[in-house]
Amino acid sequence: MMTSSAINESAEIFSKSTTQLSLKDVYKVYAGRHGWPDKLLRRTSPDYIALAEINLDIVANQFVSIIGPSGCGKSTLLNIIAGLDQPTQGAVLLNGQPVKAPGPDRGVVFQHYSLMPWMTVEENIRFAIETVFPTMTRAEQIDQVRQYIELVGLQSASKRHPHELSGGMKQRVGIARALAIEPQMLLMDEPFGALDALTRGFLQDEVARIWEQQRKTVILITHSIDEALLLSDKIIMMSRGPAAKIVEVLDIPFPRPRRRENLAQFSSYAELRAELELHLSRETRAVEESRI
Ligand SMILES: Nc1ncnc2c1ncn2[C@@H]1O[C@H](COP(=O)(O)OP(=O)(O)O)[C@@H](O)[C@H]1O
Ligand SMILES: [Mg+2]
């Protein structure tokens, strides 16, 4: 029979093995300008509290979306998770270890592609692989590049340069590059925001397909309720800033694989959609009114 301490211990091991990323009471304050040169030049500004009291646990292999009004601090939060920015206060733990800098355990995809313009598709992906796996042989690298180009369906464009690609293709290169370093987690900041609606829908389906294959943890920032409902296990709703917080985390129970045309048949769909719409419109209205 298990003693209660053994049960507690196993419960702890269980929670450690499932919680991959943990944010504990994270705050981000952007320092204003209040030094004497600013005072002399009459251009002082106060500190800006972007994020406040962010507590979040993300379980491995889940697809999590973050939704919130423009300017609320979504990119700030993702950059902190990526290690590109530091919280002013609080802790960010990946597998229990503090995040201090970017690392190959987190692949990042930005809205604006950030591909090397002088490199072909293959070279862009290989460059990331070389950086992360310096001991890989050339043949292994080439094989890895090929696998990830196939994963995103870009075989026919592998020798092209970024300027010869459509926005959707560039973003597929970005996704292939982020996944080719075999991260534990994929972080995406409005990856489809610059694409037209049709391409966007196509890439959402691609991301859903790739996620079914790989089941990596994904954190996706999006403005799109439909995108979040199609892809996510959980949707994190953020309030407007300053001092933006997580106001609610919605569980999205629809079975997978999902098809956008079937989602409306699930009983909770209408309610979840309405809740997200109400939240976004209320927060966005408040942001707009505060500007007047
Ligand atoms: N480097 C910075 N210095 C000062 N303020 C910033 C900086 N980066 C972002 N902010 C402010 O923090 C808030 C959150 O920004 P951001 O994370 O980009 O929002 P979102 O991605 O949700 O649109 C905004 O009000 C923005 O102006
Ligand atoms: Mg942003």
Find all residues with CB under 8 Å of 264, minimum gap 6, and list them. Answer: 270
Res 2: pLDDT = 45
Contact between 221 and 78 (Cβ < 8 Å) = yes
Our mutation pick for probing the ligand 1 site, out of 26, 72, 247, counting the most ligand atoms within 8 A of Cβ, is: 72
- How far is residue 173's CA from residue 183's CA, in Å, rounded to a whole number? 16
127 lines ligand 1 (CB under 6 A): no
Res 9: pLDDT = 52
pLDDT for 247-284, tens place per residue? Answer: 999 999 999 999 999 999 999 999 999 999 999 999 99
Res 291: pLDDT = 86
Ligand 2 midpoint to CA 134 (Å): 32
End-to-end CA distance of the chain: 66
Ligand 1 midpoint to CA 287 (Å): 14
Ligand 2 midpoint to CA 75 (Å): 4
Question: For 45-64, what is the mean pLDDT?
Answer: 97
Res 18: pLDDT = 82
Statement: residue 220 has pLDDT above 50: yes
- How far is residue 280's CA from residue 284's CA, in Å, rounded to a whole number? 6
Res 17: pLDDT = 52
C-alpha dist (Å) from residue 81 to 74, 174, 262: 11, 18, 33
- Give the H/E segment covering residue 109: strand 106-109
∠ CA 182-188-190 to the nearest 5 degrees?
160
When the pLDDT of each residue in the chain is averaged and rounded to a whole number, the result is: 93
